[in-house]
Amino acid sequence: MTTIALPSYEDATSRYETVIGLETHVELGTQTKMFCGCKTDFGAEPNTQVCPVCLALPGALPAMNGAAIEATIRIGLALNCDIAEWCRMARKNYFYPDMPKNFQTSQYDEPLCVDGHVDVVVDGKEYRIGIERVHIEEDTGKTLHVGGATGRIHGATESLVDYNRAGIPLVEIVTKPVPGLGELAPEVAKAYVAELRDIIRSLGVSDVRMEQGSLRCDVNTSLNKPGEEWGTRTETKNVNSLRSVERAVRSEVIRQAGVLDGGGKITQETRHFHEDRGDTSPGRSKETATDYRYFPEPDLVPIAPDPAWVAQLKSELPEKPSTKRARLREEWGISELDMQSVANAGAVELIEETIAAGASPAGARKWWMGELARRANELGIELSAAGATPAQVAALQKLVDEGKLNDKLARTVLEGVVAGEGDPAEVMAARGLEVVNDTGALTAAVDEAIAANPDIADKIRDGKVAAAGALVGAVMKTTRGQADAKTVRELILARLGVS
């Protein structure tokens, strides 16, 4: 085996053009599965959310979940697609044990939504990503291989299958090939997935959480020399975060450039992205058959959405996330970059609701993008699951604005809120965290501090006002931080006759 010298990314993109394409799977958040009444809760005990239909027992038949069709149409409309007036489901035939019927009910040449687009902004420039199709299909179960060293099927002594996920509705969103992005291809790919996530989240049809697999992304990449035909593409799977989307494209561009530089050919294949190493390796093909023998699903009648209904769904679409962001950026008076990080943190709606509950934009943003975002990051959870509600955050900020909490105390109160101890006022009372505003008690503490530090007091009397900080510290210590530092400072200066 020869080792190929890899070029730098900049070098690669200076000599090759890239074409990318993305296939995204979104697990819909319907109450029940696509063809049966089984629940779709994440994380349930294996094989507890199953029935004859999703286990494909002999004789069982699918019955279409109308909510899944509606959600798919809404996604299609939000991506500016045309909605088919008549289309059919199709069977994709291949054998695999996590697929109970040994065919997947999907769509083939008659997708529900076609020909749309998504606009994304990278470095201030807008890029239009064409949407080839949006179709609906069912998810498979999950196979666990036990006894092998790698957890993969090879070498395993037993295979366990959990069919809870089998039959959960999935929407597949396929872009048209996107050429001409130059070195920005990785960033545009990432921005597209982020935008897609925000659009779908705004529709309320999926929680689109990459880490839980409710949004999964495959990235197609190919390189060609300028002026030549598009190259052979590879499909990179297991891309499980926004950052990975970017890294996967980048690493694949570098790898393919290396192969082409060495006179090699790109093999059309599925590759596996490694989060830890940041590169890809050839994937073991999941299916043994390459011919899926698609044919129209005879167990389901065609889907023929009433155009009037589709028009109604279109008129009821929520404000586009990009429009909304522009509006809120204006209202909140923040920079585009700040807005971008708010969006990336999934904080737009949370901050919006916090403001609606009475907080100032700056106050609301401070908590969500500060303490709470940090916590969500550390725990690898969504910001909305970080433990505080917009109403609680607004109440916390109000206590600060009223002078009942200082910044440090407020953070402690938030810890209590997150720990489930109650609303901010309750936590403040229960933990005795209110700022000490009783001037009598404070004056005593100040006098005590002056008496204990005569040297410092003299310095202050001599006009070295900056030395007051040490006395403030002492007072804060005796009041266990519950005093307002500014008040303490003013009191010290007054007692020493400096102010």
Partner 1 sequence: MSDLTRLSAADLASRIASREVSAVEVATAHLDRIDAVDERVHAFLHVDREGALAAAAAVDRGEITGPLAGVPIAVKDVVTTKGLPTTAASKILEGWTPPYDATIVERLKAAGMPILGKTNMDEFAMGSSTEYSAYGPTNNPWDLGRIPGGSGGGSAAALAAYEAPLAIGTDTGGSIRQPGAVTGTVGAKPTYGGTSRYGLIAFSSSLDTPGPCGRTVEDTALLHAVIAGHDPRDSTSIPQPVPDVVAAARRGATGDLTGVKLGLVKEFAGDGSEPGVLAAFRESLEALVKLGAEVVEVSCPHFQYALPAYYLIAPSECSSNLARFDGVRYGLRSGDDGSRSLEEVMSLTRDEGFGPEVKRRIILGTYALSSGYYDAYYGQAQKVRTLITRDFQAAFEQVDVLVSPTTPFVAFPFGSRTSDPYQMYLADLFTIPTNLYGGPAISVPCGLSEGLPVGFQIMAPTLADDRMYRVAAALESAVGTFTPPAL
List interacting residues with Zn ion (CB under 5 A): 36, 38, 51, 53-54
Pairing type for strands 178-179 and 295-296 reads unpaired
Count CA atoms closer than 13 A to 365's CA, side-chain side: 17
Give me the 102-141 binding string for partner 1, x by CB under 8 A, dash otherwise: xx--------------------------------------
Task: Quote the least distance from Cβ 36 to Zn ion, whole Å.
Answer: 3
Q: Are 460 and 493 in contact (CB under 8 A)?
A: yes
Rule CB under 8 A: say whether 227 interacts with partner 1. Answer: no
Is the Cβ of residue 57 or residue 144 nearer to Zn ion in the bound state?
A: 57
Task: Quote the least distance from Cβ 144 to partner 1, whole Å.
Answer: 13
H or E element in which residue 451 lies: helix 439-452
Rule CB under 8 A: say whether 430 interacts with partner 1. Answer: no
Which of partner 1, Zn ion, none has residue 161 at its interface (CB below 5 to 8 Å by kind)? partner 1
In this structure, the chain runs to a length of 499
Question: Which one of 95-103, 120-128, 174-182, 372-380 is the stretch in contact with partner 1 (CB under 8 A)?
Answer: 95-103
Rule CB under 8 A: say whether 309 interacts with partner 1. Answer: no
Query: What angle in degrees, to the nearest 10, is found between the helix axes of 454-461 and 439-452?
Result: 100
Residues whose CB falls within 8 Å of the CB of residue 298, separated by 6 or more in sequence, listed in order: none
Rule CB under 8 A: say whether 326 interacts with partner 1. Answer: no
Task: Quote the least distance from Cβ 307 to Zn ion, whole Å.
Answer: 32
Task: Quote the least distance from Cβ 116 to partner 1, whole Å.
Answer: 28
Give me the 38-77 binding string for partner 1, x by CB under 8 A, dash otherwise: --------------x--xxxxxxxxxx-------------
Pick the binder of partner 1 from 23, 115, 235, 299 (CB under 8 A). 299
Give the residue among 145, 164, 170 at the shortest CA–CA distance from 30.
170
Rule CB under 8 A: say whether 224 interacts with partner 1. Answer: no
Cα 306 to Cα 85, 170, 361: the distances in Å are 7, 22, 43
Question: Which one of 294-302, 406-414, 431-439, 458-466 is the stretch in contact with partner 1 (CB under 8 A)?
Answer: 294-302
Which of partner 1, Zn ion, none has residue 480 at its interface (CB below 5 to 8 Å by kind)? none
If 0-12 CB within 10 Å is exposed, 13-18 middle and 19+ buried, where does residue 294 land? Answer: middle
Q: Are 200 and 75 in contact (CB under 8 A)?
A: yes
Give the residue among 390, 355, 360 at the shortest CA–CA distance from 372.
390
C-alpha to C-alpha distance for 461 and 471, rounded to whole angstroms: 13
Give the interface with partner 1 as residue ranges (CB under 8 A): 52, 55-64, 91, 93, 95, 97, 100-103, 153, 157, 159, 161, 288, 291, 293-295, 298-301
